[in-house]
Amino acid sequence: LTEQAEKAYLMDIYKRFPITIKHGKGARVWDEDGRCYLDFTAGIAVNVLGHGHPKLVNAIKSQAERAIHVSNLYWTEPQIALAKLLSTNSIGGKVFFANSGAEANEAALKIARKFGRSQNESKYRIISAHNSFHGRTYGALTATGQPKYRKPFEPLLEGFDYVEYNDVGSLESKMSPDVCAVILEPIQGEGGIVPARREFLEAARRLCDKYNALLIFDEVQTGMGRTGKLFAYQHYDVTPDILTVAKGLGGGVPIGAVVANERADVLEPGDHGSTFGGNPLACAAGIVVLEELTSGTFLKRVQEVSHHLLERLKELEETYEAVVEVRGMGLIVGMELKEEFNALEFATKALKEGLLVTVSGKNTVRLLPPLIIDEADVDEAVEILEKVLRG
Ligand SMILES: Cc1ncc(COP(=O)(O)O)c(C=O)c1O
């Protein structure tokens, strides 16, 4: 029934797995037949606190009773409180709220262009990496270094160049005084879970300083505790001028954000805006998520569980021919498979065994569990992965 209805009423855009999810609790979800699955997708890095987290649910409920939406014509307390939390827990500076990752990146790109052109008419070039993913809207799509996403929608924006990820020479060769920004993911998520090398991000910082360009880190997938620190850049000690965040920020409620330091604080009234951006419902959710992630031993636990997960997956890598490599940091982990073993088929088999995983890159099984999982959840997931590997 669901499949028929989808064909009749929904655009045929998503390759969906063949289940309908009704509800979730913690790291588990249930389908319409009452079957339970261990959720190692978490809405693609969104449900950081898992499903049905009581504090998050209560905050959303009580905010909904007070005011679901208030326009940016007025001030609201949740928006100011969340901006303060985001700023003080990241690079400092000021926040603009959007509703998604793509929109956060659009805002970052507009900031970059205004920053550049206010110095010099020809300073508008933006550099991104091959194999990157920054979203589906025109600016974010142009920055996305994967022709398969871009081609059908050309012509795209002017003034973008692409460099090899993790290749300092490639980046150096494209830098010039005409560059206003470099946008990079500290770990390429959709590109197959490819962590940046330290020297690459350090070179990006150095070259942006040399050419007076802004360094933008897209932490839409890697941010919000995903890597075991609040933001991935904190592992590298390389600080961007602009940080973009979305996905996990609202714990499931749509929200995106840009944090920009003083150099990048160039937007003025009328330059940009969003009807829903920073609405009190989304911000009330974001406050709970940030408070939870930064409280007590939350991130330390993510690191411990990550250690266990990576160890167990390395065992699979050593044991099974099909596994080419396990890569990742914290709870963003990829298991690349040999070409003969199709990652999407693998994920479908895992689903049949009760584990939700997704895929990325050429042939990588992608694990993005909620950050609240424990070692027993990891063991359960690895058991299913092993069963699928055994065939
Ligand atoms: C690194 C990165 N940037 C941007 C986006 C786009 O986010 P959204 O789908 O919320 O527009 C994604 C989505 O997967 C992403 O992984």
Annotate 137-163 with DSSP letters as a single string. SHHHHHH-B-HHHHGGG-S--SSEEEE
368 CA to middle of ligand 1, Å?
14
What per-residue confidence (pLDDT) applies to 1?
A: 56
What per-residue confidence (pLDDT) applies to 2?
A: 63
Q: 58 by DSSP, 3-state: which?
A: helix
Name the residue of 165, 222, 226, 247 whose CB sits within 8 Å of the most ligand 1 atoms, as the mutation to test its pocket.
247
Amino acid at 311: E
Q: Report how far apart, in Å, the C-alpha atoms of 118 and of each of 113, 352, 367 are.
A: 8, 55, 42
| Ligand 1 lined by 101 (C-beta under 6 Å) | yes
**Inter-axis angle of helices 298-319 and 375-390, nearest 10:** 20
Distance of CA 266 to the CA centre of its chain: 25
What per-residue confidence (pLDDT) applies to 3?
A: 66
What is the DSSP code (8-state) at residue 11? -
What per-residue confidence (pLDDT) applies to 352?
A: 98
Contact between 367 and 384 (Cβ < 8 Å): no
Query: What gap in Å lies between CA 294 and CA 291, rounded to an integer?
Result: 5
Contact between 64 and 230 (Cβ < 8 Å): no
66 CA to middle of ligand 1, Å?
30
| Ligand 1 lined by 220 (C-beta under 6 Å) | yes
| Ligand 1 lined by 185 (C-beta under 6 Å) | yes
| Ligand 1 lined by 227 (C-beta under 6 Å) | no
* Sites in the chain below the pLDDT cut of 70: 1-3
Tokens of 271: 């330059």
Query: What gap in Å lies between CA 211 and CA 81, rounded to an integer?
Result: 35
For 317, counting Cβ atoms within 10 Å of its Cβ (0-12 exposed, 13-18 middle, 19+ buried), the class is: middle
| Ligand 1 lined by 133 (C-beta under 6 Å) | yes
**pTM (2 d.p.):** 0.98
Tokens of 173: 């060769």
